[in-house]
Structure 1
Amino acid sequence: MNMKKNVIITGTSTGVGFEAAILFAKNNFKVYASMRNLDKSEALREKIQKEALDIEILELDVTSLQSIKNAVETVIEKDGRIDLLINNAGAGFAKTTEQASEDEIRWVTEVNYLGVVFCTQTVLPYMRAQRSGQIINVTSVGGLVGQPFNELYCGAKFAVEGFAEGLAAYVSKAFNIKISNIEPGGISTEFMTSAIGKTVVDGQLASGEYLPIFEKYLAANQQRASEDAAQVYQTGLQVAEVILDVAQSENPPMRVRTSSWAEDFCHLKTQADPDGTKLVQTITESFL
């Protein structure tokens, strides 16, 4: 029987998920690194080979419940348990609500919110049966603070925050299943590139009356990036290190920002209860 704790990580082809898979493997976890498109697994396979890492690559598309179930069953067949789920898969999206198509709105919600719900739903019976487990969601400062042109993305991330908070209020104490949200600010990975790329498919991010506002938004973004790159943008590895820290914590926080910039950005929302633990305790006491 494998004595290492095992972890399923979603969205490991690039960025935070990629770095987390490697970091967790180096810290005595058996890692199931999952991704939607196995064609993008080459870089991770090279790392596994080169450093003899205990990582198994799985196909898992968070927008397909059947795909999630197949991946989880594979882990149960091999190890008989799931110790940790890291809901990392997600995608940025910047577009006005008016100009987003129905398909885009459904897609951004599925990838960033429903994927988390379905992955969590699928592992819960196993964690409940073993009376232990941990679920870590990689959300965003956009899960606490709404931002212009990102309202559809932020809406999905806000939903993850509420889902996790409500779930933690009763599964943590009853079944010893710990739940945390990791809230990065800017990350210098392919995430940002794909967020912008996704929105320029039709050649225009915003048009008509929205265009001058959007241009102002982009200019401010670029200026902030060039002036404060060191403070605003973290690497995927820096965020992965925070995730590992939470995974190894005896009493993990309900939520944690990953940088001082992210902390400052969310200060008005979080100052009364920075790590969210008091709130979950209060909710539990109020209802149960």
Structure 2
Amino acid sequence: MKKNVLITGSSSGVGLESAILFAKHGYKVYATMRNLDKSNILKDRLSTEGLRIDILPLDVTDISSIQAAVQNILDKDGRLDILVNNAGAGFGKTTEQATEEEIRWVTDVNYHGVVFCTQAVLPHMRKQRSGQIINITSVGGLVGQPFNELYCGAKFAVEGYMEGLATYVSDAFNIKITNVEPGGISTAFMESAIAKTISEGQLATGEYQAIFEKYMAGNVARANEGEQQVYQTGEEVAGVILKVANTPNPPFRTRTSEWAENFCRLKTQADPDGLKLIQQIKDSFL
């Protein structure tokens, strides 16, 4: 039976590339995005490559939108096999500089959206006694980074939420959970994050300015490191996501590049795939 997959944030970058790649490998794909007006790039790729997928509206900050998309899939297929929580947004500001609205926004998009999408699919995966939830987190979900503390905090929250959830839904209901942790991604996501950081009025000023300028210079240098650069393509990360979906017993967490692996090594070297810790938690509490 052909498995179906719901992918959030599919208008560009990793989400778009994942939708294309899953379709090529025989999955029934539901590509979702907040604004369907941004679906033209995906539609053009589908036409060029002779692929067909379903494109649905889904705003991860709107619970009714999430529920409607999930119900649409259930009405068509009667089941939902894989959720890829991909939608997210970069953000680079000092804590002092960020407004209340921005703090709530970066948390809603990167954390609350993951929780509410997961909440929407869990009852159906539980009833069918199978399912997979793949979350595109970040090395920033394991390692805090300068001027990204609010973004990292939201990604840390996803890691902790999924770590707790995985301890009891995996064995009881055969719902597999994996956090995919990229380093930098050279897509519209990165461009959006940089644009938001350097747009008028958003550069770090005062006593933070010298630190910020050093930070941005480092980003530019790393982006030009050739084959060893930090930034992967959306297609490369999509390949890791597909591999996880096709793995019978997938890891709880996995990095997507050698750079990401090295960057997180002090946090992950004792338990690179996270499965030992999950088992320890089960042994301690269940």
TM-score of the aligned structures, taking structure 2 as reference length: 0.98
| Cα shift at 1:92 | 0.4
Aligned partner (choices 207, 210, 230) of residue 209 of structure 1: 207
Match of 2:59 in 1: 61
Match of 2:111 in 1: 113
| Cα shift at 1:51 | 2.7
* In structure 1, distance between residues paired with 2:35 and 2:127: 31
Match of 2:98 in 1: 100
Aligned partner (choices 266, 271, 283) of residue 269 of structure 2: 271
- Give the root-mean-square deviation of aligned CA atoms: 1.0
Contact kept, 8 Å, 2:85 with 2:135, in 1: the verdict is yes
Partner letter of residue 70 of structure 1?
A
Unaligned runs of 5+ in 2: none
Match of 2:166 in 1: 168
* In structure 1, distance between residues paired with 2:204 and 2:235: 33
1:26 aligns with 2:24: yes
Partner letter of residue 46 of structure 1?
D
* In structure 2, distance between residues paired with 1:257 and 1:228: 20
The change in CA–CA distance for 1:229 and 1:193 in structure 2 (over 3 A counts) is farther
* In structure 2, distance between residues paired with 1:244 and 1:206: 38
TM-score of the aligned structures, taking structure 1 as reference length: 0.97
Unaligned runs of 5+ in 1: none
Match of 1:136 in 2: 134
* In structure 2, distance between residues paired with 1:119 and 1:106: 18
Partner letter of residue 172 of structure 2?
A
Deviation string, structure 1 residues 79-105 (Cα, Å, up to 9, x no partner): 000000000000100000000000000
Q: How many residues are aligned here? A: 286
* In structure 2, distance between residues paired with 1:137 and 1:87: 5
Pick which of 72-81 and 188-197 moved more.
188-197
* In structure 1, distance between residues paired with 2:278 and 2:7: 25
| Cα shift at 1:72 | 0.3
Deviation string, structure 1 residues 100-150 (Cα, Å, up to 9, x no partner): 000000000000000000000000000000000000000000000000000
Pick which of 135-144 and 212-221 moved more.
212-221
1:38 aligns with 2:36: yes
* In structure 2, distance between residues paired with 1:204 and 1:24: 38
1:232-243 matched pairs, under 5 angstroms: 232-243=230-241
| Cα shift at 1:229 | 5.7
The change in CA–CA distance for 1:62 and 1:229 in structure 2 (over 3 A counts) is farther
Deviation string, structure 1 residues 163-205 (Cα, Å, up to 9, x no partner): 0000000000000000000000011111111002223444332
SS at match of 2:56: strand
Aligned partner (choices 46, 49, 52) of residue 51 of structure 1: 49
Taking only the aligned residue pairs, the percentage that are identical comes to 71
* In structure 2, distance between residues paired with 1:238 and 1:221: 20
